[in-house]
Amino acid sequence: MERSILNISAYRDKKQNQGEYNAKGLIRKVMEFTERNANIREKVRARNLFRNLIGLSEEQIFSPNQEKAFTEWFLYDYQTIQGLTMFSLFLRKYHQHLTEPELIQGALFLTSVFEPVQIEEIYPEKNELFVSEVFSGKQCLLFYEKADFSSISKGDLYFVRKISIIKRDLVIGNMYRVNDKSVLERLEREYDMTVKEDQPSSWMTFLKRTAIKFLFHT
């Protein structure tokens, strides 16, 4: 029995590592595709919309964190003139050349959003964070290779984009600190207003469209 349990655990570890490796490869492919296929007009349109969403004037320069967020938003959330995201355009063009695991992961990427989480536990030796989703209360383990764990504390709030892979979720991109809890209160109020105005929307769909507005608001 003990050997069987160990074998199952080893198998799950192997599948987790393979899933994370595949996801990172898929991200690289999409970024290369976007670099080759997004024309200047589309990029300018996206940057102007992003600037408006986060409340920057035309004269203000993006900060390093805002540049990172723009890159992620442009891949996963921004809708092109065709009404599609860059990620969905990539899948549409190359779906016949992708493996089944890549297509399954692609569906997870398509529905990924910036969502607020609270840090519950920190495991720097494993590049892991145990978090609670702020509004649902759902808890999960995150794998985040880019983390500067010395700057993360229990109770901190972040916006994070993640996908599920077997034993833990993988952070895709960066985590963005929420410095003022009132930002999340305003986010929740805007969702409530959307529902009251007879524009029914799931919470995740709402975040897909709206969360970016709150990443850099204080």
pLDDT tens across 13-27, in order? Answer: 899 999 999 999 999
Same domain flag for 163 and 94? no
Domain total of the chain: 3
Closest alpha carbon to 177 in 51, 68, 100: 68
Domain holding 203, by residue range, is 182-214
- Among the candidates 56, 81, 111, a domain finishes at 111
pLDDT tens across 139-197, in order? Answer: 999 999 888 899 999 999 999 999 999 999 999 999 999 999 999 999 999 999 888 87
Same domain flag for 14 and 62? yes
CATH number at 144 reads: 2.40.50.140
Stated pTM of the model: 0.91
Same domain flag for 107 and 10? yes
User: What span, in angstroms and rounded, lies between the C-alpha atoms of 172 and 24?
Assistant: 8
Q: Residue 13: its pLDDT value, please?
A: 86
- Among the candidates 74, 92, 111, a domain finishes at 111
Same domain flag for 12 and 106? yes
Same domain flag for 142 and 91? no
Same domain flag for 83 and 143? no
- Among the candidates 55, 77, 111, a domain finishes at 111
Same domain flag for 66 and 46? yes
